[in-house]
């Protein structure tokens, strides 16, 4: 039992990990709030949805990188690894996944035209005829705002830790 408690303490005391989790969590909550304000609909499924405003991918990796910079410094291996990871994730969100979303939109239009008069066009086992998810990538503004959110989350969390413990979360 003591090992479990020590593991839990180490987990909750991991500033980099908690910053990344908070970045993701807050971005997802913002998506729910935006959906509620715009469409007047509460949709808890958005908590685990990809795409949309702000980018939770950007918020997560930028929070992680910022936490690494605060804890270990800009010259550290931890910051270098997290910064490279951030570049890869953000590039993927802007490039590959955004293009996949555009392709899904075109495919959905084509399938809709092909089967427009056929009510039973889908094959439930193979998924043929089911609409593809179109909102998989991010626009540049979604990525920028997600990154700013991640930066803010890590800094605010560091200041909270400093206020509670008297020092910044240096590992």
Token pair, residue 121, equals 């066009």
Taking the C-alpha atoms of residue 90 and residue 148, their distance in angstroms, rounded to an integer, is: 13
Average pLDDT over residues 45-64: 91
pLDDT bucket at 29, cuts 50 / 70 / 90: very high
C-alpha to C-alpha distance for 5 and 163, rounded to whole angstroms: 24
| Integer Cα distance of 168 and 147 in angstroms | 22
Task: Of 81, 67, 76, give the one whose Cα is nearest residue 157.
Answer: 67
Q: Is 123 helix (H, G, I), strand (E, B) or coil?
A: strand
Name the residue with tokens 């800009």: 74
Residue 171 pLDDT level (bands cut at 50, 70, 90) = low
Task: With a cut of 80, say whether residue 113 has pLDDT above it.
Answer: no
Tell me which residue of 135, 152, 131, 108 sits closest to 53, measured CA to CA. Answer: 135
* pLDDT greater than 90 at residue 165: no
- Report whether pLDDT(126) > 60: no
**Is 51 within 8 Å of 92 (Cβ atoms)?**
no
Q: How far apart are CA 14 and CA 168, in angstroms?
A: 12
Rounded to whole angstroms, how far apart are CA atoms 151 and 91? 18
Give the pLDDT score at 89.
93
Residues 68 and 107: their CA atoms lie apart, in Å, by 41
Beta carbons of 15 and 169 less than 8 angstroms apart: yes
């Amino acid at each position: 039992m003591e090992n479990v408690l020590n593991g839990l303490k180490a987990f909750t005391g991991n500033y980099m990990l908690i910053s990344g989790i908070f970045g993701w969590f807050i971005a997802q909550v913002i998506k729910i709030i935006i959906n509620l304000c715009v469409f007047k609909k509460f949709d808890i499924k958005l908590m685990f949805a990809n795409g949309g405003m702000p980018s939770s991918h950007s918020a997560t990796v930028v929070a992680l990188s910022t936490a690494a910079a605060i804890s270990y410094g800009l010259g550290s291996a931890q910051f270098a690894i997290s910064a490279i990871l951030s570049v890869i994730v953000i590039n993927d969100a802007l490039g590959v996944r955004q293009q996949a979303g555009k392709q899904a939109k075109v495919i959905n239009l084509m399938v809709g035209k092909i089967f427009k008069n056929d009510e039973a066009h889908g094959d439930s086992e193979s998924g043929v005829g089911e609409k593809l998810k179109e909102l998989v990538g991010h626009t540049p503004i979604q990525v920028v705002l997600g990154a700013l959110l991640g930066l803010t989350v890590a800094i605010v969390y560091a200041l909270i830790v400093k206020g509670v413990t008297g020092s910044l979360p240096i590992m």
